Amino acid sequence: MLNFDFYAPARILFGKGEEKRIGELLKPHAAKVLLHYGGASLKKSGLYDTVVTSLTESGIAFVELGGVKPNPRLSLVHEGIALCKKEGVDLILASGGGSVIDSAKAIAMGVYYGGDIWEVYEKGAAVEKALPVATILTIPAAGSESSGDTVITNEEKQLKLGYGSPRLRPLLSIMNPELFFTLPKNQLANGVADMMSHVFERYFTNTTHTDLTDGLCEVTLKTLMKNALLAGGDMQNYDAWAELGFAGTVAHNGLVGMGRAQDWACHGMEHELSAIYDVAHGAGLAVLTPGWMQYVYKDNINMFVQFAVTVMGVEGSYRDPGAIVLEGIDRLRGFFGRLGLPATLADLGIGGDRLEEMAKKATGAAFSRERPLGGLKKLHWQDVLAIYTLVK
C-alpha cells in the first residue's frame, strides 16, 4: 500500500424526498444561488418546481442558467461566470448529472479566477478559491457529486480536458433514486459503464498489499453489474437504482483507490473520442475498456486473473491464467452487450481516419510534450493507436 491522503467531505443526503430539503440545507450557506441545469427534463419531471418552491420557502434568492449539454461546453461556463459576478451569487446549485456538476465547478472557480478559466484546465494552475457547489443528482454516473474533478470541452479547440482540486468537492449532494426512474435506457447503460470505469481505473494496479481496496473495488463492481441488469429490466426499480447511485459515489469519491497507483488510460483515450466525435463518455469507455484489457493484461496477469475470478466469476484451471483472463474480458464484453452498449468504434460511428491524430492528442505527442497514459502499463501514442485499432 502506498501513502495516501483521503479527503471526501461532501455530505451525501440519500433517499426518497431528500430534494425537498434543499432550501433548508442551503440556508446556512447562501443568500443567493445560481440554479444550473441542462434541458427541459428538469421542468418536465417536476424537479424544477420542487427546487424553486424549497428555495423560495427558505428565503433563498436565485438566478438560473440552463442549457448544459453532455460534454459541457466552455462557452456556457463563461456565460455562468459572468452571470454569477453580475448577480452576486454565493453558491451554485447544480441539478442534473455529471455534465451539469462539472460545468458548475468550472463556473465556481471562474468567479474568482483572474484570467480565462480554460487556462486552469490547460495548464493545471492551482485554484485558491471557488464558490461552494451543491448538487441534486438526476443521473448517477460521473461521481462528480462527491469528487473534486471537472471535465470541460473547449468547442473551438476540439479539446476535452479535466481538472481536479479538493476545493471543488461539493458541499453537499442530494441523491434520490426516484429521480432516475425517467432516464432513457441508454443513459443507464452509459452511466454504469462510466461508474465501472471509475473503479477499473483504480483497481488495475501494480501496487501490492491492497487487500481492503481490492475488495472494495470488487464489491462495487459486482453491485453495479447486478443492479444494472435489474434496473435495465425495470426502470422503476427503486432498490436497484439506490444501489447504482450509492455505488456510483463510492466508485469516485476516492476511497477505493487509496494507497494504489492508479491507471486512467481508458479515460484518457476516451476523452479524445468525446472531444472530436461527441460520443457519450460511458459508451466510449465500454468500447475501449475490454480492448485495453486485452492489450495490457500480460503485464500483470495475476491482477487480471483476480478480476476474472472475483468479479466476473470465471472458474477454470489456474495453470492456464491467460484463458481465465480472456474469459473474464469476454464476459465483460457480454455484460456491456446485454446493456445495449456498443462494442466497436464503428458502432459509435467513428471511422478509422483520425485514430492516429487522437492517439497523439491523448498522449500529448501532438503537442510535443508526450506524457504516456496509464499506470499498470505506460502507453505511448503507438500503444494507444494499437488499442484504438483493436476495437475499430
How many residues can be counted in the chain?
392
Q: By CB under 8 A, how many residues form the interface with a copy of itself? A: 40
Sole window of 2-10, 47-55, 266-274, 284-292 interacting with a copy of itself (rule: CB under 8 A): 2-10
Mark out the alpha helices in 37-94 (DSSP H runs).
Answer: 41-44, 47-57, 74-87
- Euclidean distance between CA atoms 176 and 193, whole angstroms: 20
Q: Which is nearer to a copy of itself, 241 or 297 (CB)?
A: 241
- Euclidean distance between CA atoms 303 and 297, whole angstroms: 8
Minimal distance in Å, beta carbon 31 to a copy of itself? 22
Q: Which is nearer to a copy of itself, 18 or 270 (CB)?
A: 18
Nearest to 128 by CA among 111, 143, 116: 111
Residues 112-151: x where in contact with a copy of itself by CB under 8 A, - otherwise, as a string: ----------------------------------------
**Is 248 in a helix, a strand, or coil?**
helix
* Main-chain dihedrals φ then ψ at residue 233, nearest 5 degrees: -80, -25
Let me know the angle formed at the C-alpha of 339 by 335 and 343, rounded to the nearest 5 degrees: 70
Question: What does the radius of gyration of the chain's CA atoms come to, in whole angstroms?
Answer: 20
Residues 252-271: x where in contact with a copy of itself by CB under 8 A, - otherwise, as a string: ---x--xx------------
Asked whether the beta carbons of 175 and 146 are under 8 A apart, the reply is no
Is residue 188 close enough to count as binding a copy of itself by CB under 8 A?
Answer: no
Name beta bridge partners: 93.
35, 134
Crossing angle of helices 355-362/265-277, nearest 10°? Answer: 130
14-43: contacts with a copy of itself (CB under 8 A): 14-18
Sole window of 55-63, 116-124, 190-198, 240-248 interacting with a copy of itself (rule: CB under 8 A): 240-248
Is residue 353 close enough to count as binding a copy of itself by CB under 8 A?
Answer: no
Nearest to 205 by CA among 266, 124, 260, 286: 260
Q: Which is nearer to a copy of itself, 160 or 198 (CB)?
A: 198
Q: Which is nearer to a copy of itself, 68 or 142 (CB)?
A: 142
Minimal distance in Å, beta carbon 351 to a copy of itself? 40
Q: Which is nearer to a copy of itself, 12 or 76 (CB)?
A: 12
Q: Which of 19, 145, 149, 243 touches a copy of itself (CB under 8 A)?
A: 243
Is residue 216 close enough to count as binding a copy of itself by CB under 8 A?
Answer: yes
Q: Which is nearer to a copy of itself, 138 or 213 (CB)?
A: 213
- Euclidean distance between CA atoms 369 and 347, whole angstroms: 32
Asked whether the beta carbons of 139 and 187 are under 8 A apart, the reply is yes
Minimal distance in Å, beta carbon 342 to a copy of itself? 27
User: How many other CB atoms sit within 10 Å of the CB of residue 201?
Assistant: 24
The number of angstroms, rounded, from the C-alpha of 350 to the middle of its chain's C-alpha atoms is 22
Sole window of 90-98, 192-200, 245-253, 279-287 interacting with a copy of itself (rule: CB under 8 A): 245-253
Q: Which residues of this chain interact with a copy of itself, rule CB under 8 A?
A: 1-9, 11-18, 208-209, 211-213, 215-216, 218-220, 222-223, 226-227, 239, 242-243, 246-247, 250, 255, 258-259
